[in-house]
Structure 1
Amino acid sequence: MTSTASPWNDAARAPSTRRTPAERRLHGDVFTDDYEWLRAKEDPEVLAQLEAENRYAEAVTEPLGSLREAIFGEIKARTRETDLSVPVRKGDWWYFRRTAEGSDYPVFCRVPAETTGETERDWTPPEVPTGERLADEQVLLDANALAEGLPFFSLGAFQVTRDGRHLTYSVDDSGDERYTQYVRDLERDELLPDRLEGVFGGGFLTPDAGHLVYTLVDDSWRPYEVRAHRLGASGEDRVLAREEDPTLWLGAGLSSDESHLVLDAGCSEYNEARLLPLTALDDDAAEPWTVIGREDRVLYDAEPVTLPSGPHLLVTHDHAAPNGQLLLVGLEEARAAGSVGDLERAGAVLLGPSETRRLNGVGLTGTHLVLDLREDTLPKAAFLPLGALEGALRGEPLPDAVEPGFEEELYSAGVGAFSVHSPVVGLAYSSFVTPGRRYDYFPETGALRLRKETPVLGGYDPARYTARREWARAEDGTRIPVSVLHRADLDLTREHPVVQYGYGSYEISMDPGFSISRLSLLDRGVVYAVAHVRGGGELGRRWYTDGKKLRKLNTFTDFIAVTDHLAAQPWADAGRIAATGGSAGGLLMGGIANMAPERYCGILAVVPFVDPVTSVSDPELPLSALEWEEWGNPLEDPEAYAYMMRYSPYENVGALRYPPIAAVTSLNDTRVLYVEPAKWVPRLRALGASDAPVLLRTEMEGGHGGGSGRYTRWRDTAWEYAFLLACLGAAG
């Protein structure tokens, strides 16, 4: 039943926000911004304003307090708080994580592994009791102890070397994603003096634990420099790569065969990978060599592989193949090549271009090539024997890749843990109705072993829920996939409230996945719909490029077209459709709020990117220059500026009848600055033509993912779901 009484505390009064006009002049256009002063993060007045907004948001939603507590209790009751992950073998140890009731963070542990020579026996995880420690169990790291006394805690890197002796990990204690990296000698149970400050989150040790490889960020939070620190050494660390182009992101990793460092500078449209043999780390004269230069503007990955005929290079690239193709070329021939064309002429095509299959990349086990694929909107994994690659060099056809099969219509089957030292590949499986599963797949035999399904307490029955694919029609005739999820016993001849979710940027796909918390919506009769709009990667590379830069409006109009499709269904209440999205999906929320506010009974925008023109026009702001490949460069390109101004949520706020809107952000977010929603909310109040509440909720100790700790995240989710249910008239 739809509630007729207001779900809000209508007596609460929004805080006033000082208006201080500031002009932004670009390409002959002048925009007056009344709230840019809120960018001064350290100003006590700004902090007081954010606190006042928090008090107002709590006051307005005070009638929802019992609902929030109920949802939090439901999430908690369904979650096995004392649990452990599936042990993963590395070297002579099984590694796993424990969680305990009342603790926010995991405890990382290990137990010794046996080696008998029987593959399945040696690679079958041991039975580890949930609530008690084994006699030979070692605690490597208790994240709860690390987090004690900190206002915020995030664990970045966590890596143990294959010999089991050294552990490196990194900690962010503010939410700004600048980490302190540590190294522990596990044999001696002591921290080494090799402590690095202000590093990016993914530092790692080389296999011999001789070097710690890490990345630094510049003032705009762009990873721009990779260094190698020799353990135990003093003095300056070796700079392996420095990227001066402000539009490129620099990263480092190990090749799958653990023979090379891969140094990669790139953006969403092209990259440049350089390889350095690990044996050359101590040779200051050794320089990384470039596989394909950035001037070719190719997006690619490179993986060394040693075959009986010698060392080769596997190159996954998009030259003349938007969805990717796979090339095998001799390593020396690759080093001598000067362009992608030279590589193609010197090598053999293993997998050619496809209109329907997206090849995202490859990896190696000791015996097989692991293919990361997307087809029919779904992520999948497939396998080819390495022995077949030699034949391909001689012109022999490759056998068909083997793909483990699953029965559900909508699912995600992604590659998890694997290595060249292991005969097993971990597969992470999930669907909208099936809790996350961890499988082990043995490529040599085709055996697929279920190791664990995430427990859902309280008698969860997947048959009580159903998920299906529907297709909406965009303005230009394009068919848009829509995932629809609801309780199986819902009477589809009657109208029900709908929550519609979307993202649509960076070629990121919204894949099928299970959510314990989402059950609190479904069990209250809500239909949950995911709009797979252009700008994501669900239908291949073109699906992405048709929703970026000067085609970005497709993302917004696709979402609205999905809303119209849902509203036309007999089971959907057209007057009770609420929209939600986060980060770039928050930009989507701001856009549809201006383009079609009457279609939504409420909008929830989480860490929303709602002031993109201001952010992307200032290369001094975090990550702004990196965004030019996604949105265009409004600073230098008048056409890009004019186009962005057509959809930018902040500039297009007007005298519209907006529905209730809630913006959720974090003070220390470095990806989408708190100031974007902090400016957007008072502008909505000042210019909007409705009396619906517009709320800003700021996590004062959090980062891009909100506050830290699972209990904090559950309470945040409960707040957001209660807001949505109130908008839907389903808060009673």
Structure 2
Amino acid sequence: MMAPSEGLQKKLYSEILSRIKESDMEIPYQRGKYMYYSRTEKGKQYRVYCRKLNSNLAKEETILDCNALASGKKFFSLGLMDPSPDSRFLAYTTDIDGFREYTLFFKNLVTGKNFIEKIPCVRSFAWSADNKTIFYVTEDQAKRAHKVWSRVLSERSSEKLIYEEKNKRFSVYVELSRSHEYVFITSSSSSSSEVRFLRADYPYGKCSLFRPRKKNIKYYMDHGKDYFYILTNDKGKNFRLIKTRTAAEKKDWCQMLPHRKSVMLDNIEVFADFIVLHERKNGFPRLRLLDLRTGNAREIHLKEMARTVGASKNFNFTTDCYRYEYESYVTPETTFEYCLGKSESTILKRRAVGRDYSPKQYTVDIIKAKANDGTLIPISMVYRSDLKQAHPQAFLLNGYGAYGYSNDAYFSVPRLSLLDRGLIFGTAHIRGGGEFGKKWHEQGSLLKKKNSFTDFIACADALFAA
């Protein structure tokens, strides 16, 4: 069936491969006394994870070679990977059958040898501050993360069940705060959540419940210096930000950022002197930094509207700089660093896309289509500027519109081969997604799910009429 296009297939493969830098290295990032990074090697399928002591000039240590781990296996996927706070041990998870069932392994980074023990069906894990106790979450037969355990390395008899989530609508996640002072256990469903916490330096202490779960109320916790920071939708669906020294009384809560109808507060990242606010406004993501010393917030300037932006690797709690990842239809994946003192972003690395690529050759447009009920649905699109035609032209329209997931613009090397042949690529940001906050999601879910489909049809009709 595909034989007549064999020549085109080979041409496209060669074209795409020429735009990929096969041997490459990510920007090193500081974690404790080491600089960590990963690299790819030409002709090899998987990444090699490495580190250097204190400086990029130091000798390289390979901490995990995924090519070696994958050798002889039909399938391999690295899940989570996290060194202990003192950098002596490595915990990591792998899936070798493709069923998303990850097994937790431990490696001694001083000797380079793996521990004998391994733990199956692990969804998440977190080190304690004592550098030998680890918390981990296991799944049931339905792949629901439901049990939280603790264990001291090489002491299987020390295994202890910390918490079990018996409500089948809820799943559990465990994480260590960036401050390394608290371990958080979050239990959440599609409509509510609750968080337990304990001191990271006393892993066998008692878990405390911050606030019991309540119907249609979600909240998430983080920690910095003397405060807990809480992201909650108790006053509105788009969330607000509060802080408190204790979990005892709601009257002790101090509001830092109110609920806003036009802005969705998706997430926060807490550092010693600032908080990164991950927000959505006018259908697109943005980043703001809230200075905890002055109380002032500043937005990181992002030049394109249709974009994807999110956190990079930021493990230093006391830093004044923040790294983030950015890309768009025409801007390749780029790592930026924003420093509070300079109030500007610096490019640390941008993905190489061959010598002939220039974003100036392409145009990004955003138009709006009117849905059946009059709601305006954004359509973002990209095309080769010199190939845009006045008469009908091939258009590949995609959409998602489910689970509150935002279908943001991203860069794609294979897509360039389509654009260079005159095709227009676009995304219909239909309801059911999270582009405009929780209300946008709800207007395309449950009894209103039909809107996701009629929105997509309306977008296609608008393009035909354009």
**TM-score interval for Structure 1 and Structure 2 normalised by the shorter chain:** over 0.9
1:177 aligns with 2:73: no
Q: What's the CA shift string for 1:662-712, capped at 9, x where partnerless?
A: xxxxxxxxxxxxxxxxxxxxxxxxxxxxxxxxxxxxxxxxxxxxxxxxxxx
Of 63, 71, 74, the residue aligned with 2:15 is 74
> Which has the higher relative contact order, 1 or 2, with Cα contacts under 8 A spaced 6 or more apart?
1
Q: How do 1:164-313 residues align onto structure 2 when only pairs under 5 Å count?
A: 164-200=87-123, 202-235=124-157, 237-283=159-205, 286=206, 288-306=207-225, 311-313=226-228
* Kept in 2: contact 1:230–1:237 (CA 8 A): yes
Amino acid in the other structure paired with 1:476: D
* Kept in 1: contact 2:129–2:200 (CA 8 A): no
Q: Secondary structure of the equivalent of 2:406?
A: coil
1:448 aligns with 2:345: yes
Partner of 2:313: 417
Of 483, 506, 529, the residue aligned with 2:426 is 529
Larger radius of gyration: 1
Amino acid in the other structure paired with 1:155: L
Q: Secondary structure of the equivalent of 1:499?
A: strand
Partner of 1:154: 77
1:101 aligns with 2:42: yes
Q: Secondary structure of the equivalent of 2:394?
A: strand
Structure with greater helix share of residues: 1
1:430 aligns with 2:330: no
Partner of 1:324: 239
Any gaps of 5 or more consecutive residues in structure 1?
1-59, 115-125, 127-133, 338-342, 389-397, 570-732
| Stretch moving more, 444-453 or 528-537 | 444-453
1:514 aligns with 2:411: yes
Size of the aligned set, in residue pairs, is 465
Shift of 1:161: 2.5
Q: How do 1:389-408 residues align onto structure 2 when only pairs under 5 Å count?
A: 398-399=295-296, 401-408=297-304
Q: Distance in 1 between matches of 2:306 and 2:122?
A: 39
Q: Distance in 1 between matches of 2:449 and 2:461?
A: 19
Q: What's the CA shift string for 1:274-305, capped at 9, x where partnerless?
A: 1122233224xx1x222222224311111223
Amino acid in the other structure paired with 2:231: T
Q: Distance in 1 between matches of 2:389 and 2:191?
A: 44
Amino acid in the other structure paired with 1:387: R
Q: Distance in 1 between matches of 2:9 and 2:148?
A: 45
* Kept in 2: contact 1:367–1:444 (CA 8 A): no
* Kept in 1: contact 2:183–2:200 (CA 8 A): yes
Any gaps of 5 or more consecutive residues in structure 2?
none
Amino acid in the other structure paired with 1:305: G
Amino acid in the other structure paired with 2:209: T
* Kept in 2: contact 1:77–1:458 (CA 8 A): no
Shift of 1:148: 0.6
Shift of 1:137: 1.2
Q: Secondary structure of the equivalent of 1:192?
A: strand
Partner of 1:142: 65
Amino acid in the other structure paired with 1:418: N
Shift of 1:503: 0.9
* Kept in 1: contact 2:152–2:158 (CA 8 A): no
| Stretch moving more, 360-369 or 450-459 | 360-369
Q: How do 1:334-349 residues align onto structure 2 when only pairs under 5 Å count?
A: 334=247, 336-337=248-249, 343=250, 345-349=251-255
Of 281, 287, 299, the residue aligned with 1:381 is 287
1:368 aligns with 2:274: yes
Of 25, 33, 47, the residue aligned with 1:92 is 33
* Kept in 1: contact 2:273–2:318 (CA 8 A): no
Shift of 1:100: 1.0
* Kept in 1: contact 2:86–2:131 (CA 8 A): no
* Superposition TM-score, scaled by structure 1 size: 0.62
Deviating above 6 A after TM superposition, structure 1's stretches of 4 or more consecutive aligned residues are none
Q: What's the CA shift string for 1:452-502, capped at 9, x where partnerless?
A: 010001410101111111101111110001111111112331221011111
Q: What's the CA shift string for 1:305-358, capped at 9, x where partnerless?
A: 32xxxx322111111211111112221xx2x23xxxxx2x32221111112211
Shift of 1:365: 1.8
Structure with greater strand share of residues: 2
Partner of 2:460: 563
Q: How do 1:8-23 residues align onto structure 2 when only pairs under 5 Å count?
A: none
Q: What's the CA shift string for 1:639-668, capped at 9, x where partnerless?
A: xxxxxxxxxxxxxxxxxxxxxxxxxxxxxx
* Kept in 2: contact 1:110–1:140 (CA 8 A): yes
Q: Distance in 1 between matches of 2:28 and 2:129?
A: 21
* Kept in 2: contact 1:382–1:403 (CA 8 A): yes
